[in-house]
């Protein structure tokens, strides 16, 4: 009986014009997106390799190890084909040197602003926005449509249980929507292989998990459609309601949670932070200078009552000590200011992390955000990507600086330039080895931070769980609603 009902549901879907439209639209969208994504990826790889080459040449042509400027580039990942996430918004490169902090600059969109206007539509976007809409289109009249049609009465004039009917309805629609979607998805994966995108084993696991997540997400919306359809008598009403729910869940809720988090955990702006740093710096120097004058007052007091000679002798004796003392105090000021700056930045960063976490957790009320966050986590194009890259670049910077210092020492050059002043040759400025290229063999190479399958999956496990819970709740609710549904 269930099989018969599922068969009918499937046949009904396959024969309906909306099925053909959905299938065509989805296939075209998915395949175009994957194809363009692959092209984008290949372009990014070409650019990445060229930039690396240039950076290398720049180093080799530097006159001196001390003057070397290195640049680390963010490597393109095949995952950005499916989930571009923040890939286009985060800087592609950072300078690597001991005197500047790591900062990713020049995002793909800042370089190609035109593309930023019509952002790249990735597979995750298609699932999140387009397919969820289609899921609603397939389900808004699942129950009330059959009632309006009169077929519900005729069906239930037979020995059919409501549970059986609802399950068949769900399975039928699920098969009718998901299975056809798997066709363009599989073709997309085939494109990935044919067009030489180097996907690692880890990435295949991520892609598989991502497709699984997409299926769960669409399943959720099928459930929502069936629920609303069994809470209403008219399909026109359920369509309207579902549209409102969809707009709220997919478009509004994620943004509202970000704003709410901003209100609940305020984080100071960069300007505020800088003015705090400046205020501390000023106060600290003021303190230093008043301490200094106090000190000198004390010193001259020590000398009061001395004769001029005694005073001179005392001063000659103490001079070095005083100089060192003052110097230490000045150094301490520098250290304090640097420490305070770091502390303030750290505090802001921590608060920012709390805000971020709150925003994400609030956003997870909507499965659309849950889906998006998990997709980005799986693809490694999440908000942490920036941190991961900056951290690994910082580690690389340490290696690199150590290497250049060693090289510098080997070249017998103490750094900077040396000014020799001698009576016979006059002033000579020595930059070290001027006209040879530097030997960069053995120079540490920057490698992108590794995201293991375990990391990707474990960071999205929460969202998988949430999605499962959402689905169970929605189906429970749909079940209860349908048990009470008036068939007439």
Partner 1 sequence: MDTMNETIKQAPLLEARNLTKVYEDGVKALDNLDLQVLPGEIYAMLGGNGAGKTTTINIFLDFIQPTSGQAFINGINANEEPLEAKTNIAFVSENVQLYPNFTAIQNVDFFVRLGGRHNYSRSDYETALNRVGLQSQAFDKKLKDFSKGMRQKCGIAIAILKDSPAILLDEPTSGLDPKAGKEFIRLIGELRDEGKGILMSTHDIFRAKEIANHVGILNNGILVAQKTQAELKGVNLETLYVEYMAGYMDEAEPSLVNNLSEA
Shortest Å, Cβ 17 to partner 1:
9
Q: Does 298 sit near partner 1 (CB under 8 A)?
A: no
In order of 147, 269, 363, 373, the CA distances from 260 in angstroms are: 41, 17, 10, 18
Query: Looking at beta carbons only, is 164 or 290 nearer to partner 1?
Result: 164
Nearer to partner 1, 20 or 283 (CB): 20
**Shortest Å, Cβ 356 to partner 1:** 49
Decide whether 16 or 57 has the Cβ nearer to partner 1. Answer: 16
Q: Which residues of 399-410 are buried (b: 16+ CB within 10 A; e: fewer)?
A: ebbebbeebbee
Out of 31, 36, 160, 457, the residue judged to bind partner 1 by CB under 8 A? 160
- Reference 238, options 223, 227, 228; nearest CA is 228
Distance CA 197, CA 200 (A): 9
Q: Provide, rounded to whole angstroms, the least separation between the CB of residue 8 and partner 1.
A: 5
Candidate residues 103, 153, 234, 418; the one interacting with partner 1 per rule CB under 8 A: 153
What tokens appear for 336 in the block? 């304090």
Sketch the per residue contact string, 335 through 364, with partner 1: x for CB under 8 A, - otherwise.
------------------------------
Q: 472: how many CB neighbours lie within 10 A of its CB?
A: 11
Residue 15 Cβ vs partner 1, minimum distance, rounded to whole Å: 4
What residue spans of 195-264 are helical by DSSP H? 201-229, 235-246, 253-264
- Does 196 bind partner 1 (CB under 8 A)? Our answer is no
Q: Which residues partner with 105 through β-bridges?
A: 93
DSSP characters for 420-474? EEETTTEEEEE-SS-SS----TTPPPP-PPP--HHHHHHHHHHHHHHHHHHHHHH
Closest CA to 448 of 104, 66, 50: 104
Q: Which stretch binds partner 1 (CB under 8 A): 1-9, 241-249, 323-331, 332-340?
A: 1-9
Nearest distance in Å: CB 481, partner 1: 17
Tokens found for residue 389:
């890259």
Residues in the interface with partner 1 (CB under 8 A) total 23
Which member of 39, 43, 57, 161 binds partner 1 (CB under 8 A)? Answer: 161
Residue 4: CB minimum distance to partner 1, A = 5
Among 35, 48, 109, 156, binds partner 1 (CB under 8 A): 156
| Residue 425 touching partner 1 (CB under 8 A) | no
Site string for partner 1, 4-43 (x = CB under 8 A): xx--x--xx--xx---------------------------
DSSP state of 234: -
State in angstroms the smallest separation of the CB of 11 from partner 1: 7
Of the pair 221, 479, the CB lying nearest partner 1 is at 479
C-alpha separations of 276 from 279, 338, 348 in Å: 5, 13, 12
Tokens of 340: 């305070």
What's the gap between Cα 211 and its chain centre? 19
269 touches partner 1 by CB under 8 A: no
Binders in 49-88 for partner 1, by CB under 8 A: none
The helix/strand/coil state of 73 is strand
Q: Do residues 143 and 482 lie in contact, with contact meaning Cβ atoms separated by under 8 Å? A: yes
Q: In the bound complex, what is the minimum distance in angstroms from residue 5's beta carbon to partner 1?
A: 8
String marking each residue 467-486 x if it binds partner 1 according to CB under 8 A: -------------------x
- SS3 call for 416: coil
Interface stretch with partner 1, choices 68-76, 153-161, 395-403, 465-473 (CB under 8 A):
153-161
Q: Does 422 bind partner 1 (CB under 8 A)?
A: no
x/- binding map, residues 111-150, to partner 1, per CB under 8 A?
A: --------------------------------------xx
Which one among 39, 151, 334, 420 touches partner 1, defined by CB under 8 A? 151
Site for partner 1 contains 157 (CB under 8 A): yes
With beta carbons less than 8 A apart as the criterion, state whether 83 and 124 touch. Answer: yes
Buried b (16+ CB within 10 A) or exposed e, 72-106: bbbbbbbbbbbbbbbbbbbbbbbbbbeeeebebee
- Exactly one of 21, 154, 306, 335 binds partner 1 (CB under 8 A); that residue is 154
Task: State the nearest-atom distance from the C-beta of 160 to partner 1, in Å.
Answer: 7
Distance CA 181, CA 175 (A): 10
List the one residue from 113, 159, 304, 308 that touches partner 1 (CB under 8 A).
159
Q: Are 139 and 225 in contact (CB under 8 A)?
A: yes
- Shorter beta-carbon distance to partner 1: residue 214 or 230: 230
Report DSSP letters for 247-277, one per residue: IIIIIIHHHHHHHHHHHHS----HHHHHHHH
CB-wise, 150 or 198, nearer to partner 1?
150
Contacting positions for partner 1 (CB under 8 A)? 1, 4-5, 8, 11-12, 15-16, 149-151, 153-161, 486-488
């Amino acid at each position: 009986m269930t099989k018969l009902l599922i068969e009918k549901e499937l046949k009904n879907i396959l024969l309906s014009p909306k099925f053909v439209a959905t299938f065509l639209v989805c296939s075209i969208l998915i395949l175009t997106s994957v194809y363009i994504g692959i092209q984008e990826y290949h372009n990014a790889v070409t650019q990445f390799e060229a930039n690396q080459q240039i950076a290398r040449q720049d180093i080799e042509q530097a006159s001196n190890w001390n003057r070397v400027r290195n640049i680390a580039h963010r490597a393109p990942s095949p995952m950005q084909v499916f989930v571009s996430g923040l890939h286009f918004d985060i800087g592609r490169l950072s300078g690597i040197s001991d005197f500047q902090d790591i900062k990713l600059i020049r995002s793909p969109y800042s370089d190609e602003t035109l593309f930023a206007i019509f952002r790249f539509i990735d597979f995750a976007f298609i699932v999140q926005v387009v397919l969820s809409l289609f899921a609603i289109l397939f389900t808004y009249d699942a129950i009330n449509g059959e009632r309006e049609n009169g077929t519900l009465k005729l069906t239930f004039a037979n020995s059919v249980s409501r549970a059986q009917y609802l399950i068949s309805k769900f399975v039928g629609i699920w098969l009718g929507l998901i299975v056809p979607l798997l066709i363009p998805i599989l073709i997309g994966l085939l494109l990935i292989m044919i067009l030489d995108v180097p996907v690692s084993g880890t990435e295949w696991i991520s892609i598989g998990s991502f497709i699984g997540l997409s299926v769960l997400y669409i399943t959720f919306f099928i459930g929502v459609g069936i629920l609303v359809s069994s809470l209403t008598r008219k399909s026109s009403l359920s369509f309207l309601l579902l549209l409102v729910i969809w707009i709220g869940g997919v478009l509004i809720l994620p943004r509202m949670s970000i704003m709410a988090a901003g209100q609940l955990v305020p984080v100071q702006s960069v300007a505020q932070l800088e003015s705090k740093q400046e205020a501390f710096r000023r106060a600290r120097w003021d303190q230093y200078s008043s301490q200094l004058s106090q000190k000198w007052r004390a010193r001259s007091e020590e000398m009061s009552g001395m004769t001029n000679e005694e005073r001179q002798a005392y001063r000659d004796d103490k001079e070095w000590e005083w100089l060192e003392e003052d110097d230490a105090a000045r150094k301490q000021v520098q250290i304090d200011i640097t420490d305070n700056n770091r502390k303030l930045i750290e505090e802001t960063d921590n608060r920012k992390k709390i805000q971020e976490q709150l925003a994400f957790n609030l956003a997870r009320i909507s499965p659309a955000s849950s889906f998006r966050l998990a997709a980005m986590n799986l693809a490694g194009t999440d908000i942490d990507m920036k941190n991961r890259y900056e951290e690994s670049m910082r580690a690389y910077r340490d290696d690199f600086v150590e290497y250049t210092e060693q090289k510098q020492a080997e070249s017998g050059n103490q750094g900077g330039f040396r000014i020799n002043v001698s009576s016979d040759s006059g002033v000579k400025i020595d930059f070290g080895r001027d006209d040879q290229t530097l030997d960069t063999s053995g120079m540490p190479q920057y490698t992108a931070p590794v995201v293991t399958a375990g990391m990707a999956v474990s960071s999205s496990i929460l969202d998988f769980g949430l999605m499962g819970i959402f689905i169970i709740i929605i189906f429970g609710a749909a079940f209860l609603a349908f048990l009470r549904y008036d068939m007439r």
